[in-house]
Amino acid sequence: MMTRRGFLGFAGAVIATALGMACTQEERPVTTPTPEVVEKVVEKEVVKPLPAPPWEYKKLNPDKVAELAYQGYMGKTFDGEKLPGKACCFGAFYAIVKSLADEVGSPYTEFLPVASIATVGEGGLVGWASLCGALNGAAWAIWLITPEEEAKKIIDELYAWYMYEELPKYKPPKAMKAELEPFPTSVANSVLCHASVTNWCKASGYKAFSAERSERCGRLTADVAKKAVELLNAVHEGTFVPAYPLDEKTKSCKGCHTKGSALENTRGKMACWSCHTKEGALRIEEVEGHPKI
């Protein structure tokens, strides 16, 4: 028998024990719960760097590239649509790179907006009349596309062809600067804009800043781009055979004057007689009646 007091004491103890047991024995979260970790994926756009050249090449249509180069020179299409650059160097560079953006896609497509910088090569580099812009632009494009060894062979062939060939040959569907029939041609004997232009002006009778001379350079740009693509195609197919060695006189000069020779006092592949003869480069004193400077 238990007294009331005894019971209360006992009941209290029971309750306390029950409480103590209740919330410890059962596994109920009583401490700070471990939060559930949820991953929120945040995409950060990082522009992919362009891959290191050379890039992929696919055979191009030389005539189509010629047509695009001519329009590139003119700074607009035959339909009057503005292009992102102009003149010789841009014409050649853009025609090749744009054609590959169409044929191959990436990375030419991502690179294409940069092609506008080739405008720098205009008139032998910002009008300095040094290296012909079409040749300069074509060379940079070739190096983008082909491994070094092949690129050098292509450029050597292209430059020699340019020196010795009667040009221009290209005929646009519609002349954008001047229509002349037949169109006057000349042999440059040089890769330099200065000599190339002067020789054409001499042969044609047109002035150096005329629309006709501009038309000539536009067509020449088309010829250069076309030739570059023909060479790229040939190398791509494994059918390339050099057909434009340096002329015999130049080779003879180089034999004593360039690499490994007795004198070894200069460098280059430009036709020497183009500057180092009276026929090549007149002097003031040789021109009768020429004012003294």
Q: Encode 155-169: b = buried (16+ Cβ within 10 Å), e = exposed.
A: bbbbbbbbbebebbe
* Pairing outcome for strands 186-187 and 166-167: antiparallel
Give whichever of 133 and 172 is closer to a copy of itself, judged by the CB atom. 133
Q: With contact defined as beta carbons under 8 Å apart, do 206 and 214 qualify? A: no
Q: What is the b/e burial string over 139-154, where b = at least 16 CB atoms within 10 angstroms of the residue's CB? A: bbbbbbbbeeebbebb
260-289 residues in contact with a copy of itself (CB under 8 A) are 260, 264-270, 273, 275-278, 281-284
Q: Pick from 57, 71, 99, 136: which binds a copy of itself (CB under 8 A)?
A: 136
Q: Are 157 and 165 in contact (CB under 8 A)?
A: no
The nearer residue to a copy of itself, 63 or 282, going by C-beta atoms, is: 282
Residue 56 is a binding residue for a copy of itself (CB under 8 A): no
Q: How many degrees, rounded to 5, is the angle at CA 97 between CA 164 and CA 80?
A: 90
Name the segment binding a copy of itself (CB under 8 A); options: 23-31, 61-69, 172-180, 226-234: 23-31
Query: Binding a copy of itself by CB under 8 A: which of 45, 149, 181, 237?
Result: 45
By the rule CB under 8 A, 180 interacts with a copy of itself: no
Helical packing angle, 211-237 and 193-204, nearest 10°:
120
Nearer to a copy of itself by Cβ, of 57 and 67: the residue is 57
* Cβ-based nearer residue to a copy of itself, 35 or 238: 35
Residue 9 engages a copy of itself in binding (rule: CB under 8 A): no
**Which of 140, 161, 170, 183 contacts a copy of itself by CB under 8 A?**
140
Closer CB to a copy of itself, residue 38 or residue 243? Answer: 38
Contact assessment for residue 156 and residue 143, using Cβ atoms and an 8 Å cutoff? no
Contacts to a copy of itself from residues 203-242, by CB under 8 A? 207-210
Site for a copy of itself in 66-105 (CB under 8 A): 84
Cβ neighbours for 239, distance < 8 A, ≥ 6 positions apart:
none
* Displacement of CA 251 from its chain's centroid (Å): 31
Cβ distance to a copy of itself smaller for residue 71 or 136: 136
